[in-house]
Amino acid sequence: MDDVYDNANIGSRSSSSRPAQVLPFTDFSTASKAAVSYLRRLTGFELCAVTRIDGNEFLFLSVNESAYGIKPGDSLSLDRTLCARVLDGECPKFVSSTSACIDSEALSHIGAGLGVEAHIGVPLVLADNNVFGTICAINPDPMPDLAPLQVGAIELTARMLSTILSLELQSLDQRRSYERAKMESESDELTGLLNRRGWDRALREEDILCSQYGFSASVMVIDLDNLKIVNDTQGHKAGDDLIRKAAEIIQQTCRSDDVVARTGGDEFAVLTKGISQEGLKAFARRIRIALMVTGVSASVGTGTRSLAKSLTDAWTEADEAMYVSKRSKFIS
């Protein structure tokens, strides 16, 4: 029985004992870099790359260093590439000598006038049959014809990249759907702003970022002064209109990256980042004046995060300052 393979041992081996090169890629970008390195070793072509095609833009995502001088993030006009001709069916995927079968004059602008004398271009096709881009290679001199095993390896690499990419994009769509659902669950129905649940999450997440990166952040609390009177004298519809009007004015006055929420019946909160104390006071004044101009009276308080004080503490501080402001109005 000694020659029987013990399958149970497979599960008992720790992941740390497995060779690193057989572990899965973390994402499409990492897989692309590995594919580019593999294509370079397999073919000896000067420039190997994974590209993205967007309209008429041919964008290099992953690329090895080469005499062509092309870097990740560089782009070309698609109609000036041989890959465009591959996609149109006008050029083979594997060309060992472009001068022998293709006019490559259009590509002479690439890299110090080196030109393109050999070319590889295999499309990356998504699950919906749309072309995402290519895995490709170019060389300034003619190259020997690729062996069938090399051709098969390149096409298999392209297919595997396409599979990784398709699964990653599907996962991204699912995450976006989840984020939309979460956003809906965290939205205030009356105003469209974040509700209390969304506000609490925003505070927690920003507090973590502040701790990690030393960012500064402050909280503003805005409480409408006359909502109860409006509800009692004009009805709840008028009160709802007042809340919606206030929400619109507050959001319009805030910056695009500020977080605005309705945290209670007549109470709003703003999370703002990277602002000085003087700037915060001016910001609060702008909101109070913007509301006042449209006939909405409100009390405003502010609080700022510090090393000893979390954003939740800053929110409490802002809430207390708001009540001080409100009491001063009635006392006076």
Is residue 164 domain-shared with residue 274, that is, in the same domain? no
Burial 218-227 (b: 16+ CB within 10 A, else e): bbbbbbbbeb
Is residue 271 domain-shared with residue 311, that is, in the same domain? yes
- Burial (Cβ within 10 Å: 0-12, 13-18, ≥19) of residue 19: exposed
Instruction: Look up the CATH number of the domain holding residue 30.
Output: 3.30.450.40
Helix, strand or coil, per DSSP, at residue 226: coil
What DSSP assignment string belongs to 263-314? -SSSEEEEEEES--HHHHHHHHHHHHHHHHHTT--EEEEEEE-BTTB-HHHH
* CA nearest neighbour of 322 among 288, 299, 294: 299
How many domains does the structure of the chain reveal? Answer: 2
Is residue 201 domain-shared with residue 108, that is, in the same domain? no
For residue 113, is it within any domain?
A: yes
Q: How many CA atoms lie within 13 A of 139 on its CB side?
A: 19
Domain that holds residue 273: 196-331
pLDDT in tens, 120-140: 999 999 999 999 999 999 999
Question: Which pLDDT does position 48 carry in this prediction?
Answer: 97
For residue 189, is it within any domain?
A: no
For residue 84, is it within any domain?
A: yes
pLDDT in tens, 219-259: 999 999 988 888 888 988 998 999 999 999 999 999 999 99
Helix, strand or coil, per DSSP, at residue 26: coil
Is residue 156 domain-shared with residue 63, that is, in the same domain? yes
For residue 188, is it within any domain?
A: no
Is residue 85 domain-shared with residue 207, that is, in the same domain? no
Separation CA 318–CA 222 (nearest Å): 9
* CA nearest neighbour of 202 among 224, 181, 183, 176: 183
pLDDT in tens, 56-106: 999 999 999 999 999 999 988 888 788 888 888 888 999 998 876 655 454
Is residue 220 domain-shared with residue 85, that is, in the same domain? no
pLDDT in tens, 32-70: 999 999 999 999 999 999 999 988 999 999 999 999 999
For residue 258, is it within any domain?
A: yes
Q: How many CA atoms lie within 13 A of 184 on its CB side?
A: 5
Q: Which two tokens stand for residue 177?
A: 């759907």
For residue 182, is it within any domain?
A: no
Is pTM beyond 0.75? Reply is no
Separation CA 211–CA 306 (nearest Å): 10
For residue 306, is it within any domain?
A: yes
